[in-house]
Every structure is written in C-alpha cells, then in structure tokens.
Amino acid sequence: MVGYIVKNKYRCSKFTVLLDYSRLIIGSILFHKLGRKKRQQAPLSASIAGNIFQFFSYPQVISLFEEIFIAQQYKFDIELNQNANIIDCGSNIGLSILYFRLTFPNTPVIAFEPDKDAFTLLEKNIRRNRITNVTLHNVALTDVESDVQLFANKNGSFLNMSLFPHPDQLQVSETVTSRKLSSFINRQHTFIKIDTEGAEYAIIKDVIETGAINLIRQMIIECHNTHTTQTPATLTTDLQNKQFTCVHTNHPLFLNAPETLIYATQQAPK
C-alpha cells in the first residue's frame, strides 16, 4: 500500500495520505487488541485530511479510505465547469463528500444515504467539519417513489446496506422512503457517483426513461451482483445506446473484489 501511495498523485500531500492511513491501521490494531471487537454504541473517530470523522468500525473506515483516498476510484477524469454539480448516491458516513470537496472546492454536492444510523453520522461529520454547499437526503434511490425495505448485515463490520436481501447473511431490515434520482437532476454538466449495493440498475433505468440522462456528463458506477438478469454488461449496453462511452475496471487495489466499476462519459454533451 505504501508503494501505491508513493507512485500516485493526490490533491493533498502524499505524506498526509500515508499518515492518515497509518493512524487508521494503528488505531485498528490497538482497538481490537484491547478486545473491543464488536460495534460500539458510541461512534469511533479519526483525523482524515485534517477533518475529524466519526465512524462505526475500523474495518469500515479503512476500506472506505483505501477506496476513496488511496485508490481515488471516484476521481472524475474530465474537468468540471463552473455550472457543474456532483450527485453522490450512497454517501455512507461522508468520506466521499470530503474527497469531492477537497478535489472540487466550489462544486455543489447533492448526497443520498438511506440508512438512518449512517445518515446521523453523515450529518454530524458534514456539520462538524464545516463542509459547505452540500445538500443531504435521507432517502433510498430507485426507479419508484414509495416505501421500500432496506437490508443491513446484522453481524458485519462494514454496515453495507442494500435494497436486496443477501441469502448468506443474518440481516435486519427497516422501511425507508425511496425517490427517483431524475427528480434531483436539473442542470447540465451533472457528475454522478453511484455506490448503492445493487440499486444502481434501477437508478440508471429511471434516468434513461425520464430523459435526465441527457444532463449527465459523467458517471462512476459501482456495480454489484443482484442475483437477477441485470449485469454490468447489460447496464453498459443501455448507456452506450444513449451515447455514453463506458470503461470497465476492477478495484485498483484488490483485483479479486467482486464489484465492477464503470466509468461512463457522455460522448456528445448537450
């Protein structure tokens, strides 16, 4: 991991990235060595890029830090103009929002997180660190506007939530409100990051059917296995039919990770 950090460029200094990562690893070792392995009632906290962020578990925050700050898998590869905005679908505790704010200081961010516990920490992290020009929504995103069931792994450390139950996990569910992403897309040059544990297929279906797809400049989509006929390949075909160029990639740090990332860029922006 150190070699990966040294070889790549970052918005903040490489020393900051390495220092924050080292602190998280050491903090995790000390925390678990003391025998406190289960998720605590009181959230944990750590310094990330000079900001104090609360989180539920060290495995969770380390995984997020590796994906967002070390691998920079949510790095848009084209310039954002002054009229652009960023939509963050699946914000969790807010590290992706912090990354967007460090990378694009003046670009508005609209963020969605359906889980009430994660959303509580998300609100606290954004407010505590005075991250401005961010609008938060405690709703799920899909292709219908109704109440839906949100499933969470009861015994896991990562607190991954999904609209799809996982047969191999002991899960609990809660009823949450779902909205259509298309109702929030109202300007050209919209940039979207989607990490919604399977709901990405319904989200893309909605923006295509409503025509909101024409306002989107680039999307970074993390595709998951939903045990249905929907796959990254079928999603790519749908986007290519709407004049998007799609590039597939695996996780840049963990090549055996099951998720596929799709970078979809509009070929001829309106």
Q: Contact 240/246 with Cβ under 8 angstroms?
A: yes
| Identity at 48, one-letter amino acid code | I
pLDDT digits (tens, 9 = 90+) for 61-117: 999 999 999 999 999 988 888 889 999 999 999 999 999 999 999 999 999 999 999
* DSSP assignments along 119-175, one per residue: HHHHHHHHHHTT--SEEEE--EEESS-SEEEEEEETT-SS--EESS--TTS-EEEEE
Q: Where are the domains of the chain?
A: 73-266
Mean pLDDT, rounded, of the chain: 87
Predicted local distance difference test score (pLDDT) of residue 39: 47
| Identity at 155, one-letter amino acid code | N
E strand or H helix that includes residue 28: helix 14-33
Measuring CA to CA, how many Å separate 83 from each of 108, 178, 186, 187, 269? 9, 27, 11, 8, 14
pLDDT digits (tens, 9 = 90+) for 118-160: 999 999 999 999 999 999 999 999 999 999 888 776 555 445 6
Question: Helix, strand, or coil here: 85?
Answer: strand
**Over 50: is that where the pLDDT of 170 sits?**
no
User: Under CATH, to which class is 73-266 assigned?
Assistant: alpha beta
pLDDT digits (tens, 9 = 90+) for 181-239: 999 999 888 999 999 988 999 999 999 999 999 999 999 999 987 666 788 999 999 99
- Give 255's DSSP letter: T
d(C-alpha 164, C-alpha 162), whole Å: 5
